Amino acid sequence: MNAPRRTAEAKAPSGRAEGSDTSDPQRGADPPNPIGTAPPPPSPPDPKFQPDPALLKTLTAELRAKEDRGRPNREDVLPYLLVRAFVPGDRGARPTWPPTPCWESPDLLLIDASYTGPFDPSRCAGTPVSGNTYRVFVRVFNLGMLAAVGTQVTVYWIDPGFFSGQPGAEPNLIGAAYAEFADRTRAESVRVVEVGPPWAIPLSLTGHECLLATVSTLADPWRGVFDANHDRHVGQRNLTIAAGHLDLKSLIGQLATQIPAGGALEIMHGGQAVLPLLTAVSGGRLKDGNSAHSRYVAPNIADLPHGVLSDGELHLMTAVRRTSDFLVCPTEVVTAAAARTAPARVRAILRDASPSFADSVAISGANEDAPSLLTQAIRRMLDIGNLEAGSIAAALGGSPDTAHLLRFIATDAKDALTGGYSIVVAQK
């Protein structure tokens, strides 16, 4: 079958009739300027225009308000884990020292393993004993607005001393556990986590070992350094709570051996800080076998017979390790002999002391004799024959129920913190 013939009126693709030069009438006329025209020139500015100061001030304030908002606080978006360095009032700001110790964490807790029930703060052991086994607990806070899932809680021990993340010293693993913490609007944002296995303290240890805990989750990780002073993910407990006839001579002597070359050791009395610490660590009580003593009271440091008042604490004693010798002296003796200088200056005075000045105010000797020199100086200052906890507490003053917090603070030759160790003593 043949295709029909196309007529002259059929449209070609160009819009013109096939075989014709005339435009298709249905197509319409071409625009006079297919590219378009330039916009009209702007009107000249009004020569009488004056800025509105009030409007300008309003717009500037709005811009400042938006600028000040900036990024939200981290804890308002992500998890914000915390093992406290001190009590009360720790909300994670670091560093804490100076002036607040970073080694008195109230969140590392021990309970004798013979007790198998749920966590009970009244059973917490203030003074662990070598040869015994203890369940280990860590109190962890999530101060963030996002739940902390898959959080790893790990606990370590290290020899008694001033460890604060220094290289060359490696803590020993006790155990670990995983836990989850709700956001800070819920009660489950704070939990006491038990790590496993329990800590069996070998007889070769003293029971005065330092404890460290780390917490880490994917959205708020620990950075891997055991530095409680600069990282809220690390809690450190360099603490011994001692009463009665517990002899502290070997512990204090061991602390003396760890004063860095050119550094100093200062012994401070913590005053009222002893009560919140005891309350957090042992419920304010000190267990002795199956019995618990009555709650302790804090001393009035203004009534104590030794030390120099400094920033709410008593500065009791200062020791320095010089190149050739070791000097130790009650702080009050040096401040009196050196025109009543400030206690913080005593370590510098002893570092530069002449032989005659050192002989007149300090006990001195070879560096290798530092343990015996420090213990001798403490006994002489307190006028006691031994370094049992009860003898020290009685000499410091107060009633038989008074607890005294002694802080041993080590600094290096540049006065930077090496670390600290705290001892709480009581008569009973």
C-alpha 322/C-alpha 342 separation (Å) is 21
Burial class (CB in 10 A: 0-12, 13-18, 19+), 329: buried
- pLDDT higher than 70, residue 293: no
Q: Does residue 298 contact residue 397 with C-beta atoms inside 8 Å?
A: no
Q: How far is the C-alpha of 242 from the C-alpha of 208, rounded, in Å?
A: 10
What are the extents of the domains in the chain? 73-237, 238-428
Mean pLDDT of the 270-286 span: 84
Contacts for 129 with CB less than 8 Å, ≥ 6 apart: 201, 207
- Report the C-alpha gap between 419 and 103 in whole angstroms: 8
Does residue 66 have a pLDDT over 80?
no
Q: Which residue has the tokens 């050739």?
A: 324
pLDDT band at 15 (very low <50, low <70, confident <90, very high): very low
Q: If we measure between CA atoms, which residue out of 308, 425, 410, 414 comes closest to residue 103?
A: 410
The span from the CA of 105 to the CA of 189, in Å, is: 18
Higher-confidence position of 132 and 63? 132
Per residue in 306-320, pLDDT (tens digit) is: 988 888 889 999 999
Three-class secondary structure assignment of 258-277: CCCCCCEEEEEECHHHHHHH
More confident site: 343 or 157 = 157
- Quick one: average pLDDT of 7-28? 54
In the three-class reduction of DSSP (H, G, I as helix; E, B as strand; rest coil), residue 368 is classed as helix
For the record, the structure tokens of 392 come out as 């020290």
User: Is the bond into 101 cis (omega within 30 degrees of 0)?
Assistant: no
Band of the pLDDT at 133, cuts 50, 70, 90? very high
Helical segments of 175-262, H only: 249-257
Tell whether the model's pLDDT for residue 18 goes beyond 70.
Answer: no
Query: pLDDT exceeding 70 applies to what percent of the chain?
Result: 88
Cis previous bond, 95, omega within 30:
yes
Q: Where are the alpha helices (DSSP H) in 208-345?
A: 249-257, 274-282, 331-337
* Residue matched to tokens 């300027």: 33
User: Residue 355: what are its φ and ψ, rounded to 5°?
Assistant: -55, -40
For domain 73-237, give the CATH number. 2.60.40.10
Structure tokens, 353: 């002391």
pLDDT tens digits, one per residue of 309-351: 888 889 999 999 999 899 999 998 988 877 667 888 889 999 9
